[in-house]
Structure 1
């Protein structure tokens, strides 16, 4: 066996060992709503979850995908090929989502092993609200951060944001820099409409720059759970 061939075999073994020791982070998604929810995840795809059903998604820390999200879709119909449509949260008519869902959706957002061996995660209402949600570590042994949004946002939704099955974000309705924070030079802040969401779910993002009270972190390498209707 040549030196070069031997070197590359040894390098491959070391690489495989490194990858095998990099444990996947498991996201466990559970539906506690008294109706069917079609869970969606990017990356991950999608799954029909009846009441009490769960879906485990391995998320490798070595993936090149940095920003990830999970949401629930409602009032969906799909054929045997996985094509159809959802009233809320639809992702281009596919059961197995490859793109983000159509607002309004309650979002679980996370980035794994971003810096200093930490995961960062949040619940965002920047795209509106459709389902109560909890996002937390699967165990409190290594991290006790737990965030949830369980208020009756749909029932109390301002008239200008109302839509069947959800509560729109101000950005979706008005599409201005004031609400969307699209202009990077604009030091956008909370508005009366974003405060509606913040007053009811104080640990959730209510507008794009709502980082101070809405972004949480845990040590990398732990598992998480997302619960619809906790």
Structure 2
């Protein structure tokens, strides 16, 4: 009898599934965390509900080192860096900023205590990824996100300005360790976009979120800032860099010049992009462009343009330097990553006509 009809249905289905997966080109996404700060950070990882936990939920990342993780398609969650951490030999301890409250290096399903700069991702299943850098929960250090190897707009995003040096006194944490959001500092509905202010029409950017937006125009500055702050890419790997304009400016925060909350400053122009060049003095203050939607990673709007100041990351020069003892880029998931559709079809036809 013709082998086509005697083949195991389950095996044939598996090969067809293999062909389908190969045709999409990507079975997992690689996240590379790079620490350019002049001090150690402890990144935290929180997967959203119904997303699997990655290989770690929190780890130590010394200065000038990198570490990679892989996430399956469809994964969603957030990353951040904890600073000023102290852990004993058993791994017990706490952090000055971004602490997840677990009392351990691993966050074990707990999120960052604000203020903390967040990198948020929702990976598409055969479609677009959505990503952003959010200051909605405040800010503790510069974060930059870059996608490589993908298709689509794939714009880099983040906040490379040291907001701690410009943080208004009423938002400042400690000696300039972090900068609170207005919601965290004052807790009122108009600052938190809650209660009667829980819609894009009723919650406008505050003077404080306008200052955040002016300094970091591609980052989320308040809850309804989707239009200029959510970015998309398909089939990319991502690099999350802490303190992208090395070295970090933590050591110079004693000479801080706070921002002044004055609403008379000029408004930012929608779609404008001053770039990501680090500035000790900060950008001019301005208004934020409000969008619509229900939070980071779930909107459909994508930003445009790429930052000029940190395009150096795109040429791979930093990642190429990981050979200097840094953690290597993770080995891709088994050879299915490089399997082409034609190769999968050849396997299928070879089996069927044995």
CA distance in 1, matches of 2:110, 2:20: 27
**8 A Cα contact 1:105 1:127, kept in partner:** yes
Deviations 1:59-112 (A, max 9, x none): 10144xx3x111000011123443210010111123112211101111111111
Give the match for residue 145 of structure 1: 155
Deviations 1:173-204 (A, max 9, x none): 11121111123357211010111101100110
Structural mapping, 1:1-230, within 5 Å: 9-10=10-11, 13=14, 17=18, 21=22, 23-43=27-47, 44=54, 45-63=57-75, 66=76, 68-92=77-101, 93-97=103-107, 98-113=109-124, 117-139=127-149, 143-164=153-174, 165-183=177-195, 184-185=198-199, 187-219=202-234, 221-230=235-244
**8 A Cα contact 1:127 1:168, kept in partner:** yes
- Further displaced range: 155-164 or 180-189: 180-189
Q: Secondary structure, in 3 states, of the residue corresponding to 1:105?
A: coil
CA 1:80 to 1:10, structure 2 compared with 1: closer, same or farther past 3 Å?
Answer: farther
**8 A Cα contact 2:32 2:240, kept in partner:** yes
More strand by share: 1
Q: CA deviation at 1:19?
A: 9.5
Q: Please provide the CA RMSD for this pair.
A: 2.4
- Further displaced range: 20-29 or 198-207: 20-29
Computing the radius of gyration over CA atoms, which structure comes out larger, 1 or 2?
2
Unaligned runs of 5+ in 1: 1-5
More helix by share: 2
